[in-house]
């Protein structure tokens, strides 16, 4: 069975702190994709990143970075120097390659960044 676990329900930090959102997944597939989505208070779901199961290189995009470790089945997301605009619910998701795009979402982590 496929499953995505985001154990942190809510996180609160003060602006400029670094914060890491955890994501642990379960799958028996050898080929899969992992994703992160952001849902700001306005409600829309915004695609942030996709990672192929064959590519374990970490990725950095501005203040965002992602750490993918197959050995621990984790795909963690770090925001460096957090800002109030980062306040949102963040979802981790998993899909099986060739599954025609069926995504399995975690329950989400609500991040609050206070000024």
Partner 1 sequence: DAGVIQSPRHEVTEMGQEVTLRCKPISGHNSLFWYRQTMMRGLELLIYFNNNVPIDDSGMPEDRFSAKMPNASFSTLKIQPSEPRDSAVYFCASRPTGGTDEQYFGPGTRLTVT
Give the residues lining the site for partner 1 (CB under 8 A).
33, 35, 37, 43-47, 50, 52, 91, 95, 97, 99-103, 105, 107-108
Which CB contacts under 8 angstroms, 24+ apart, belong to 62-65? Answer: none
CB of 33 to partner 1, least distance (A): 5
Nearer to partner 1, 41 or 115 (CB): 41
Would you list the DSSP string of 68-81?
EEGGGTEEEEEESS
Q: Which is nearer to partner 1, 80 or 112 (CB)?
A: 112
Dist. CA 113–CA 115, nearest whole Å = 7
24-42 core/surface letters (b: 16 or more CB in 10 A; e: else): bbebeeeebbbbbbbeeee
CB of 81 to partner 1, least distance (A): 26
Nearer to partner 1, 19 or 38 (CB): 38
Beta carbon of residue 45, minimum distance to partner 1 (angstroms, whole number): 4
């Amino acid at each position: 069975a496929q499953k995505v676990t985001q154990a942190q329900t809510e996180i609160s930090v003060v602006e400029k702190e670094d914060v890491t959102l955890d994501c642990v997944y379960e799958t028996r597939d050898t080929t899969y994709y992992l994703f992160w989505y952001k849902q700001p208070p306005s409600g829309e779901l915004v695609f942030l990143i996709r990672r192929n199961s064959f590519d374990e290189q970490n990725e950095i995009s501005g203040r965002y970075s992602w750490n993918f470790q197959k050995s621990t089945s984790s795909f963690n997301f770090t925001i460096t120097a957090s800002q109030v605009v980062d306040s949102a619910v963040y979802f981790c998701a998993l899909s099986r390659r060739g599954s025609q795009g069926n995504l399995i979402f975690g329950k989400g982590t609500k991040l609050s960044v206070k000024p």
